[in-house]
Amino acid sequence: MHLKSVVIDERYVWTGSANWTQGALDWNYEDLLCLDSPDLARLYARNLRDIFAASPSFQEQALNLSILESGSRENTYSLNLPLTGPRTNYTDFARIPFEGFEAAGKVRYVADEEYQPVLRKLIQGARQSIFIGMYVFSEQKTEAPFAEQVIADLKAAARRGVYVYLLLYTAPSTLDRLAEHHSNRAEQLRRAGIDVRLALPNNILHLKTVVVDLSKVLIGSHNWSEGFLSSKRVYESSALIVLDVQEPKLADFLLSRKIISDMRSRELWEQEITTLRHLNLASGKVRDDLVTELEGRE
């Protein structure tokens, strides 16, 4: 169960990407919706009741301790993507605030089994731009290739001249499997003309947001992995918002998130990520000396 939804007074729905943790509420980049709609509240409440009905009651069991006993790439791209280059500032990594804003439009609840078809229809119908912020875009191969269908749609959009911007989470540690997955995705999709950017490992990017033509927004708790896109693994919730007019602030929000500077090749962006991870672990004079060395090198 991965959804983050609250229904209040059969009228209000609070949903989005944020868990109820200090990291989500104080530090991470998240997206949140507060919807004033009795109709949507009924749909969300029905979904929650269905999940509750299918959930077994908690039964305490003894902990089984026996389970603990088992014991070169081509790096250059010749694509017409926005220019990037070496990082020159190694001290300005503070979280960027972004004020909430209001917009008028229509909202539709998107059930798990509808998410991937709705997503694909949005991408296929894009005429100008697609902006995406995504926490998980993994490379699972255990189920049907739902992610590969989305990738094909993104590539087709780029070929017909739509600007596609994909911002992916960067794990603070190489122990996180998403470090390799997202670097692979960046290499694959940048070759296809998609402007893939990797977020800083200093700030947790927990978004699950898709913005098409600055007027259609798919937002909620669905990540992009086979289990999530196929609706076979977890319970999620998302909403499709169709605005009355285009809203440039949707692009401003995603484009203002701090990113890895040098996306000219996989070797260069992975080198920058490694440097930033070392910087995260350093403190005091060691960190000051490292910053001086890095900025002096440039």
Q: Which residue has the higher pLDDT, 242 or 54?
A: 242
Query: Could you tell me what percentage of the chain is helix, strand and coil, using 3-state DSSP and rounding each to the nearest 5?
Result: 35, 20, 45
- Predicted pLDDT at 121: 96
Residue 236's pLDDT band (cuts 50, 70, 90) = confident
Buried b (16+ CB within 10 A) or exposed e, 62-92: eeeeeeeeeeeeeeebeeebeebeebeebee
Between CA 214 and CA 222, with CA 217 as vertex, the angle to 5 degrees is 145
Residue 138's pLDDT band (cuts 50, 70, 90) = confident
Residue 166's pLDDT band (cuts 50, 70, 90) = very high
Give residue limits of the domains in the chain. Answer: 5-52+80-297
Contacts of residue 249, Cβ cutoff 8 Å, sequence gap at least 6: 101
176: its two tokens: 């996180």
Average pLDDT of every residue of the chain:
87
Rounded CA-CA distance 19/133 in Å is 17
φ, ψ of residue 220 to 5 degrees: the values are: 165, -140
Judged against a pLDDT cut of 90, whether residue 238 lies above it is answered with: yes
Q: What are the pLDDT digits (tens) for 171-198?
A: 998 889 899 999 999 999 999 999 999 9
- What's the whole-model pTM score? 0.75
Strand partners, 74: none
For domain 5-52+80-297, the CATH architecture is 2-Layer Sandwich (3.30)
Query: Averaged over 3-27, what is the pLDDT?
Result: 91
Query: Averaged over 83-112, what is the pLDDT?
Result: 91
Query: Averaged over 200-227, what is the pLDDT?
Result: 92
Rg (CA), the chain: 21
Rounded CA-CA distance 158/130 in Å is 9
Query: Averaged over 93-113, what is the pLDDT?
Result: 91
**217, 129 contact by CB (below 8 A):** no
- Predicted pLDDT at 67: 37
Residue 76's pLDDT band (cuts 50, 70, 90) = low
10: its two tokens: 């059969």
14: its two tokens: 């609070």
